[in-house]
Amino acid sequence: MSLAITRKVLIVLLVLFCILYLLFILLHQTWLACLAVGTLLLFVICSAAFWRCPNCGKNLGPLSRRKYCAHCGKELDA
């Protein structure tokens, strides 16, 4: 998966988590909390698996728009 697509998927997961968590706070429904935690776990798994430098394979850190890998210095396509 390309870094641009990975970044978009991770942002969607974070937004979905925020929405589910806010709904849980407002409605006090346990199933909303379970969905929010599941979404957060999916975010962590996807981030660990796909948010990596295509050259050196190391994690890129926060979802900021980087132009270069902090580890190897190669240019990124994100």
- 54-65 pLDDT, tens digit per residue, is 999 999 888 778
* Total domain count, the chain: 1
Helices and strands of the chain, counted as H and E runs: 2, 0
The predicted structure's pLDDT at residue 65: 80
- Domain region containing 67: 1-78
Q: For residue range 7-45, list pLDDT tens digits in order.
A: 999 999 999 999 999 999 999 999 999 999 999 999 999
In the three-class reduction of DSSP (H, G, I as helix; E, B as strand; rest coil), residue 9 is classed as helix
Residues 33-70 as b/e (b if ≥16 CB within 10 A, e otherwise) read eebbeebbeebeeebeebbbbeeeeeebeeeeeeeebe
pLDDT band at 78 (very low <50, low <70, confident <90, very high): low
Q: What is the DSSP letter of 76?
A: P
Per-residue confidence (pLDDT) for residue 66, from 0 to 100: 80
Q: Is the confidence at residue 70, as pLDDT, over 60?
A: yes
